[in-house]
Amino acid sequence: MSAGQSPPILLAACGGVLVSCGVLLMLERSLTRLVVGTVLVGNGANMLILSTAGPPRHAPILDGRHGDGPFSDPLPQAMILTAIVITLASSAFVFSISYRSGRLTGDDEVRDDIEDRRVTHVDQRLRTEVREQRREFRAWSRRQRRTIRRARRDLRARIREDRRRRATDDPTRVEDYPEHPEARDGGPGEPPERGLGA
């Protein structure tokens, strides 16, 4: 499309309306409405593609009878031919499904499958159970963390209290400090213990 061309607004608006109506019909449960919606979507898409060719101009045929005037873009027309074939094949497929469903069930309404409902119900129940178990595990984990923190605080408090009590009772005792060499040898005035064979 050249710079001087502009897409026809009316053609684009009609294509948008057809596509919107077709999508609305395709969301219904009736297979007949699904067929009509497929046809409308295909025709709307063709009109939207045609609107990209710009205003009507001469046919792109170089036979000397059209003069030197501007030609229309042939690419959207070729794309529309391909889209027509695709729309026809899709409509025929959906129509065959609708006809087969009408022969088997007596109507063209798509019903919910019983197995699908059962699977959906079981899946929802399992998801609910998993969420409940996760919630319970998180609550239990929080309680365990609080208990561990409380036990650590109590242990540190007891250790500090015990150290403070020992330091207050007898600051000169060395057996309370195992790293002291005199505590390992049994005190300053006691000889080291001998083995049984000594």
Express each pLDDT in 52-108 by its tens digit. Answer: 877 776 666 666 565 566 777 788 888 999 999 999 999 899 888 888 888 887 777
Predicted TM-score (pTM) of this structure: 0.50
Residues 103 and 131 in one domain: no
Same domain (yes/no): 16, 105: yes
Assess whether 13 and 85 both reside in one domain: yes
pLDDT tens profile 25-45: 988 888 888 889 999 999 999
In whole angstroms, how far apart are CA 33 and each of 16, 20, 100, 111, 196?
18, 14, 15, 15, 104
* Cα gap 37→22, rounded to integer Å: 4
The answer to whether the beta carbons of residues 71 and 63 sit under 8 Å apart is: no
Whether residue 88 lies inside any domain: the answer is yes
Q: Are residues 82 and 149 in the same domain?
A: no
CATH number of the domain that 88 lies in? 1.10.287.3510
- Look at residue 4 and tell me whether its pLDDT is greater than 70: no
Contact 36, 90 (CB under 8 A): no
User: 177-192 pLDDT, tens per residue?
Assistant: 555 454 445 445 454 4
Q: Residues 101, 143: one domain?
A: no
Q: How many domains does the chain have?
A: 2
Q: Is the pLDDT of residue 115 over 80?
A: no
pLDDT at residue 16, as a whole number:
92
Note whether residue 150 is domain-resident: yes
Rounded CA-CA distance 99/150 in Å is: 73
The C-alpha atoms of residue 156 and residue 129 are separated, in whole angstroms, by 40
Query: Which residues constitute the domain of residue 80?
Result: 9-60+70-111
Whether 97 and 160 map to the same domain: the answer is no
Cβ pair 1, 40 in contact under 8 A = no
